[in-house]
Structure formats: C-alpha cells, structure tokens
Amino acid sequence: QVQLVESGGGLVQAGGSLRLSCAASGRTFSRYAVGWFRQAPGKEREFVAGISERVGRIYYADSGKGRFTISSDNAKNTVYLQMNSLKPEDTAVYYCAAGSPYSLTLSSVGAYDYWGQGTQVTVSS
C-alpha cells in the first residue's frame, strides 16, 4: 500500500501558474499509475491527468491539454502537476491517487485504490 500527501495549492490570479506535488510513502510510486483529479463544490470528481511509467502512458483531460503537465521523480517518490494559464474554472480541491499501472484507462476514479486528502486551488479573475 501507499500513503499520498498533496501540497502546492493556493490562491492565484487567472493566467498564473501553480505546481502541485504528490509525495508518497510506503511502496514506491513507480509501481503504480498515478492520477490527478479535482472536485469543485457541488460537482463530481473530475479526471485531470494520469501517468503510468510501467507502461509508458500519459493521459490528459481536454480541460488541461496544452496547459497542464504531469511528471514524476522516482528518486524523490513524488509526482507533480504543473498548471499554467490557470482559469477561474480550474478552482477546485485537487487530489492525487494511485492504482494499478496496467489499468486500461487512467481517467476513471475506479482505477485508483489510494487517495490523498487534497489541496485547494483557487483562481481569481
């Protein structure tokens, strides 16, 4: 099993940038697929980006394509989400999650077994 802790959220103006970090303890991140999700008040949890290094797959939701980048640093056992050109509609609690690296899709909540507590991202206009 693995424990996940997100950090890096905060308040930023529209057009600004943030880098979120997901640090893992327990088993190493390289054994898992790791996804980023977000959830705004009153809305469902939404996939943002995912990475599975074991099978060499990266996938982005349309909402973040061209603006967000997911990456991993195995030596630090950390996965990052770089978010540029932020928009007010990006405001949400952002969660990282870990699951099987062999999942057919990285975009489904059901593909992930372990979740962090989330970090708040607020984008002002």
Q: Tens digits of per-residue pLDDT, 5-45? A: 999 999 999 999 999 999 999 878 788 999 999 999 999 99
Distance CA 93, CA 111 (A): 19
Encode pLDDT of 30-41 as tens digits. Answer: 889 999 999 999
Mean pLDDT within 33-61: 94
Exposed / middle / buried, residue 41 (Cβ in 10 Å: 0-12, 13-18, 19+)? exposed
pLDDT at 23: 95
**3-state SS, residue 34:** strand
Give the tokens for residue 33.
């697929």
Taking all residues of the chain, what is their mean pLDDT, rounded to a whole number?
Answer: 94
Distance CA 94, CA 27 (A): 22
Closest CA to 109 of 48, 20, 41: 48
